[in-house]
């Protein structure tokens, strides 16, 4: 029998549901980074060329980021639990296929299928919190746990990838998803309440436009990181993405049930939350990319030690995230996000001064603690604001757009910071000085993202009187007193 949040076992059932949803979100985010440390083993085992190897990561990112909006709307129309289980099942089967791969094409196809499954499951994870946690305080705690899982996943992927690669083989980074995914898919029908399916036609024109536009944009960012922003195919991809995405709102105004309700962008705070998530992920992904290189190439750490070196980020992130549900009723979302952004600025500016000779404690520990705490504050508060007062029938679309900002931001951050890093970081003939100078330039570009995030927190949100802060957070994803339908 399905869990009913009104029965006497509400707390126990709700805990099981939250564990499943958070575990799914963690696995999906982890999978975007866990294979990074395993790439040398994959190249040796399957015979990838250097040019092909990057697509072990990119195939997943491209499918995940490009199909998120489509996945969110499928859940809105057919039911989020149904879409969630289907996505988890596809992701699990694709992980098994990838672990069994014997040729490069086989693995790349499996990684793309993993991304498609993730795009179907991820929006449902956040939307299902609404159907499982109808009351404000418990939903606030659930959203906090969910945001922690998503933000910590990138770091957890580095640690887990290092452990699995060191102890077993590269195939383990794919096989590890299989028992977890199978368990989630089996338990979901009992632990999760199905959302109400929405009657109506599927917006095929909108689906094609947004899916192709998002996919081409992510591809353009990936190619910019590999071949530069002036590359002909990169420029062409950006132009095609611009045309597709510009035509998307035009298409949506002409259909009765759009795949992305444009009314979601009429709320100033929600748009600000989307932008905060984009900028945060851009800064964090770029920072993690180059700090991983710095710790290994300059400080001389191995892959496993490097992964554990980022654990303080997760500790600080969890500690700050747990404080957000208590801070929001007192201060409101804007000051919390501004404080988090300021911590991220401080951490990134610190990294712009990385030396050629240093130690982990003096160079790395301080910035990762600051950035972890800042990420915890911003990620949770932005998730609360983005999902505030969203009608149930639009929960999947809102969740999908919020998570698409995370995927696009990740690609954008790496592309911009790689460009700023310049050729000096890859030219061994110039010696260590040029390499570290390139990393400093990359971190400087990352600091620009964090400053933009701080400016967004300060100026993009409405200021709320103190007596309204509790209303903003008491039921962060829907106030029954204001609307007959809430998340």
* pLDDT (average), residues 325-332: 86
* Average pLDDT of the chain to the nearest whole number: 81
Task: Tell whether the model's pLDDT for residue 453 goes beyond 90.
Answer: yes
What confidence score (pLDDT) does residue 483 get? Answer: 32
Q: Tens digits of per-residue pLDDT, 35-75?
A: 877 877 888 889 887 667 778 887 888 888 888 888 887 88
Q: State the pLDDT confidence band at 9, using cuts at 50, 70 and 90.
A: very low
Q: State the pLDDT confidence band at 437, using cuts at 50, 70 and 90.
A: confident
- Which residue did the predictor score with more confidence, 346 or 476? 346
- Which residue did the predictor score with more confidence, 448 or 212? 448
Q: What percent of the chain has pLDDT over 90?
A: 28
Q: Tens digits of per-residue pLDDT, 86-116?
A: 999 999 999 999 999 999 999 999 999 999 9
What confidence score (pLDDT) does residue 60 get? Answer: 87
Q: What percent of the chain has pLDDT over 70?
A: 86
Q: Tens digits of per-residue pLDDT, 367-391?
A: 999 999 999 999 989 988 888 777 7
Domains of the chain with bracketed CATH: 13-136+169-191 (1.20.1250.20)
Q: State the pLDDT confidence band at 468, using cuts at 50, 70 and 90.
A: very low
What confidence score (pLDDT) does residue 11 get? Answer: 52
pTM of the entire predicted model: 0.79
CA distance 472 to 477: 9
């Amino acid at each position: 029998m399905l869990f009913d949040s009104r029965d006497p076992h509400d707390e126990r059932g709700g805990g099981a549901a939250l564990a499943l949803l958070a575990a799914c979100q963690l696995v999906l985010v982890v999978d975007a980074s866990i294979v990074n440390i395993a790439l040398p083993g994959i190249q040796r085992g399957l015979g990838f060329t250097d040019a092909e190897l990057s697509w072990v990561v990119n195939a997943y990112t491209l499918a995940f980021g490009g199909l998120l909006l489509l996945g969110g709307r499928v859940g809105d129309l057919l039911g989020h639990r149904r879409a969630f289980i289907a996505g988890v099942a596809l992701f699990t089967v694709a992980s098994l296929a990838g672990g069994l791969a014997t040729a490069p094409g086989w693995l790349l196809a499996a990684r793309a299928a993993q991304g498609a499954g993730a795009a179907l499951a991820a929006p449902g994870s956040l939307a299902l919190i609404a159907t499982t946690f109808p009351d404000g305080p418990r939903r606030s705690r659930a959203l906090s746990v969910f945001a922690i899982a998503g933000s910590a996943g990138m770091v957890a992927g580095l640690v887990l990838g290092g452990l699995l690669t060191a102890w077993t083989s590269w195939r383990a980074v794919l096989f590890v998803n299989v028992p977890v995914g199978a368990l989630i898919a089996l338990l979901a029908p009992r632990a999760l309440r199905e959302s109400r399916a929405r009657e109506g036609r599927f917006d095929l024109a909108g689906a094609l436009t947004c899916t192709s536009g998002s996919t081409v944009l992510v591809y353009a960012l990936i190619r910019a990181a590999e071949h530069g922003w002036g590359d002909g195919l990169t420029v062409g991809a950006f132009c095609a993405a611009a045309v597709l995405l510009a035509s998307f709102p035009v298409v949506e105004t002409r259909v009765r049930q759009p795949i992305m309700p444009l009314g979601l962008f009429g709320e100033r705070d929600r748009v600000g939350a989307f932008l905060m998530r984009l900028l945060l992920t851009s800064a964090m992904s770029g920072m993690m990319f180059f700090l991983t290189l710095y710790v290994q190439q300059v400080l001389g750490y191995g892959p496993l030690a490097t992964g554990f070196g980022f654990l303080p980020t997760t500790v600080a992130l969890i500690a700050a995230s747990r404080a957000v549900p208590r801070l929001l009723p007192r201060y409101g979302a804007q000051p919390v996000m501004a404080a988090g952004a300021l911590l991220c600025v401080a951490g990134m500016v610190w990294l712009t001064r990385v030396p050629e000779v240093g130690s982990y404690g003096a160079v790395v520990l301080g910035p990762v603690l600051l950035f972890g705490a800042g990420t915890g504050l911003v990620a949770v508060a932005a998730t609360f604001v983005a999902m505030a007062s969203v009608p149930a029938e639009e929960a999947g679309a809102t969740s999908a757009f919020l998570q698409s900002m995370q995927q696009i931001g990740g690609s954008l951050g790496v592309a911009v910071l790689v460009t700023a890093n310049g050729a000096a970081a890859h030219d061994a003939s110039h010696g260590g000085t040029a390499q570290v100078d390139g990393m400093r330039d990359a971190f400087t570009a990352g600091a620009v993202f964090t400053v933009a995030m701080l400016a967004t927190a300060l100026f993009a949100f409405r200021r709320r009187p103190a007596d309204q802060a509790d209303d903003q957070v008491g039921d962060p994803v829907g106030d029954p007193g204001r609307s007959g339908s809430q998340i």
